[in-house]
């Protein structure tokens, strides 16, 4: 796959290339000082670019085609994983993967949307856009987790639930509604992590949890900025403004108390260092599981109900 | 033999353009019949010729579904707040103010207690007229409270949906209302309190992806648009024409997601019969 470099990543990549070239040269000439200088410069550049990203730039990073996806995280973090298939009613949706996973000492049920890397795998995964049977597979697996008293971990990365004729006919709305309804009542810990795109109901269909975490460069909202632009501005050209208005980044949502925690990414984004990203996420998940396991099921359900009950603001005349 | 078919309709009294004085007559969008407003109202805003169900609001639904003067509204003074300072082509703050002014409503939903043929119920009804029946904090909170009211009083819950989905101007908070409402309906279901969902035109997006599709029984009005994604979005995605009757109540029943399609005139009677079975 051709390397994808976003506009604001370009100056960094250019400097990196320069350093690589100099390193090759330095085998014959002494360039140690120059390289050190450039490395210092590149770090400053990385800091200044990545500490000042606009909301739209974060959306672009969240969609970066080189970002780690669910199956990458599973192989980076899990000692063992058995993928389970099918909703037992209609079929097996490849846009959602799930199964039993070993995470450190814990057995968990891990469920996620899965995108493809290229045209072929994207068609296979339907670009990470689940159909109703995907949500119903997720529900079945979560019910298994409840039956065997295992924590549920969901990783969210979807541009939305698939808007197609068959998806509608098989009850896309009902499938998502049912999952949200059931997830609010499962007496096991649920941890939700937004690892890329968290687009609306398609994301929320596996997104109700006790702890909701977001990787640093991801987005989560009720609508994608482009669609928001097309509806409210009646044009596709206001995606940057829409992203600003929606306040859809991890720091925004932490401030709005919709998420509980931001997980830092390696400098430059998750796609620049898979191994490190996997380690960071695993460590966070182990800590969260440990904490949630201490809480009694009744208490867990009570606080989940209360947490979502508290979301929203209004005035009284 | 199209080559000598008359290209224009015969001139007759029927086909002549009739002026429709403002406020007195309404044209049926389905069959083109010109309807007298007063007669239309008496017919519960259903076209007398083709049975097209016009969109109506909470005031009308309450008037023909509930026993006279039985409705007691709760939290009538809750209004939406622009807590994210959301600006698109307009400020959300102004949109709220304008909607309140033009509709005379406070938000896209009203709820309270009432009786239907003497059966006490907790009832919530959405108003599409108010920013497209969109779901913001007020709608989410009122549905949750209507469910709690049903739970505390152990009376059936009825929700009449009419919504295009989430209220974008409340961004992620709007999405969270799906969990707020569904989690309270979950608690209600565990207490075995009945919940009947009535889906009217349209019930899509965040409404159908949460409370509207979580009833013990789903009743839809004839011809109502019911789905997750709107038809325009689906058409854009698949780049094909949509099949006849797609996402219409009658089709959604055939696909298995609606129990009954009921004419507006018969909803009260149907509710009464259902509630009598359940109680």
Say yes or no for a CB contact (<8 Å) between A201 and B256: no
* Residue range B139-178, pLDDT digits in tens: 999 999 999 999 999 999 999 999 999 999 999 999 999 9
Give the whole-angstrom CA distance, residue A20 versus residue A13: 10
Residue B30 has pLDDT above 70, yes or no: yes
* Residue B181 banded pLDDT, cuts 50, 70, 90: very high
Say yes or no for a CB contact (<8 Å) between A222 and B79: no
- Specify the residue for token string 């019930």: B203
CA dihedral angle for residue B183, residue B188, residue B189, residue B194, rounded to 10 degrees? -130
Residue of B nearest to A248 (CA): B172
Q: Where are the domains of chain A?
A: 10-52, 58-309
Q: How many residues does chain B have?
A: 279
- pLDDT at position B1: 46
Residue B11 has pLDDT above 90, yes or no: no
CA distance A277 to chain B (A): 26
Give the whole-angstrom CA distance, residue B202 versus residue A145: 36
Q: How much is the ipTM here?
A: 0.95
Say yes or no for a CB contact (<8 Å) between B209 and A304: no
**B174 neighbors B195 (Cβ within 8 angstroms):** no
Report H helices in chain A: 10-25, 32-50, 55-62, 70-77, 119-124, 132-147, 165-169, 172-183, 200-204, 225-228, 239-246, 250-255, 274-293, 297-309
Say yes or no for a CB contact (<8 Å) between B237 and A164: yes
Token output for B248: 């219409």
Pick B77's closest partner by Cβ from A227, A256, A316: A316
To test the contact with chain A by mutation, choose from B179, B207, B215, B241 the residue with the greatest count of A C-beta atoms within 10 A, namely B179
Q: Under DSSP, is residue A111 helix (H, G, I), strand (E, B) or coil?
A: strand
Choice between A258 and B8, residue whose per-residue pLDDT is larger:
A258
Q: Which of residues 185-244 of B touch A (CB under 8 A)?
A: 185-187, 190, 204-206, 208-214, 226-229, 233-234, 237-238, 240, 242-243
* Residue range B79-94, pLDDT digits in tens: 999 999 999 999 999 9
**Looking at the complex, does the CB of residue A306 fall below 8 Å from at least one CB of chain B?**
no
Q: Which of residues 248-267 of A touch B (CB under 8 A)?
A: 248, 253, 256, 258
Say yes or no for a CB contact (<8 Å) between B238 and A164: yes
Rounded mean pLDDT, A280-302: 98
Closest CA to A217 of A2, A3, A6: A6
Residue A308 has pLDDT above 80, yes or no: yes
Q: Are strands B195-203 and B217-220 parallel, antiparallel or unpaired?
A: parallel
**A304 neighbors A187 (Cβ within 8 angstroms):** no
Say yes or no for a CB contact (<8 Å) between A165 and B81: no
Domains belonging to chain B, first-starting first, are 1-54 (no CATH), 55-278 (3.90.226.10)
Say yes or no for a CB contact (<8 Å) between A170 and B79: no
Homologous superfamily of domain range A58-309: 2-enoyl-CoA Hydratase; Chain A, domain 1 (3.90.226.10)
* Residue range A80-94, pLDDT digits in tens: 999 999 999 999 999
Residue B13 has pLDDT above 80, yes or no: no
Say yes or no for a CB contact (<8 Å) between B179 and A180: yes
pTM for this prediction: 0.94
């Amino acid at each position: 796959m051709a390397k994808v470099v976003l506009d604001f990543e370009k100056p960094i990549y250019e400097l990196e290339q320069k350093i690589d070239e100099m390193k090759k040269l330095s085998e014959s000439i002494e360039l140690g000082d120059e390289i050190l200088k450039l490395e210092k410069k590149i770090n400053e550049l990385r800091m200044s670019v990545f500490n000042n990203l606009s909301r739209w730039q974060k959306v672009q990073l969240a969609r970066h085609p080189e970002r780690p996806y669910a199956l990458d995280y599973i192989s980076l973090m899990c000692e063992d994983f058995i993928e389970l298939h099918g909703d037992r009613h209609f079929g097996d949706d490849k846009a959602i993967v799930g199964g039993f996973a070993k995470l450190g000492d814990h057995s968990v049920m891990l469920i996620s949307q899965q995108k493809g890397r290229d045209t072929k795998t994207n068609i296979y995964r339907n670009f990470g856009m689940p159909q109703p049977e995907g949500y119903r597979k997720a529900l079945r697996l979560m019910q298994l987790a409840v039956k065997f008293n295992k924590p549920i971990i969901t990783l969210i990365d979807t541009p939305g639930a698939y808007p197609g004729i068959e998806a509608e006919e098989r009850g896309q709305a009902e499938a998502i509604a049912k999952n949200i309804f059931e997830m609010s009542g499962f007496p096991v810990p649920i941890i939700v992590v937004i690892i890329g795109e968290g687009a609306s109901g398609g994301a929320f269909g596996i997104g109700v949890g006790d702890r909701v975490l977001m990787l640093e460069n991801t987005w989560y909202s009720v609508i994608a900025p482009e669609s928001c632009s097309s509806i409210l501005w009646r044009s596709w050209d206001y995606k940057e403004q829409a992203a600003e208005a929606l306040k859809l980044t991890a720091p925004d949502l932490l401030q709005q108390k919709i998420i509980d925690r931001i997980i830092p990414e390696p400098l430059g984004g998750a796609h620049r260092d898979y191994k490190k990203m996997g380690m960071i996420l695993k460590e966070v998940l182990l800590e969260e599981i440990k904490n949630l396991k201490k809480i009694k099921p009744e208490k867990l359900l009570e606080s989940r109900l209360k947490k979502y009950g508290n979301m929203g603001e209004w005035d009284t005349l | 033999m199209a080559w000598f078919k008359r290209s224009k309709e015969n001139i007759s009294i029927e086909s002549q353009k009739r002026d429709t004085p403002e406020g007195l007559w309404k044209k049926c969008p389905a069959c083109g019949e010109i309807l007298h407003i007063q007669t239309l109202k008496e017919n519960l805003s259903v076209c007398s010729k083709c049975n097209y169900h016009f969109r109506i609001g909470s005031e009308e639904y309450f008037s023909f579904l509930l026993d006279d003067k039985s409705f007691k509204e709760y939290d009538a003074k809750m209004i939406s707040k622009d807590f994210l300072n959301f600006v698109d082509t307009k400020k959300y703050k102004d949109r709220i103010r304008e909607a309140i002014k033009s509709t005379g409503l406070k938000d896209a939903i009203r709820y309270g207690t009432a009786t239907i043929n003497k059966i006490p119920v907790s009832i919530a009804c959405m108003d599409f007229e108010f920013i497209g029946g969109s779901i913001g904090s007020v709608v989410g909170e009122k549905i949750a409270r209507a469910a709690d009211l049903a739970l505390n009083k152990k009376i059936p819950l009825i929700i009449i949906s009419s919504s295009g989905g989430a209220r974008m101007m409340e961004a992620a908070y709007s999405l969270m209302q799906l969990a707020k409402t569904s989690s309270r309906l979950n608690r209600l279901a565990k207490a075995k309190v009945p919940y009947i969902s009535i889906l009217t035109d349209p019930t899509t997006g965040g409404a159908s992806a949460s409370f509207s599709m979580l009833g013990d029984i789903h009743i839809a009005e004839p011809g109502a648009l019911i789905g997750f994604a709107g038809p325009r979005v689906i058409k854009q995605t698949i780049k094909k024409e949509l099949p006849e009757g797609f996402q219409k109540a009658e089709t959604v029943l055939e696909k298995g997601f609606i129990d009954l399609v009921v004419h507006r005139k018969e909803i009260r009677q149907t509710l009464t019969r259902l509630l009598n079975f359940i109680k």
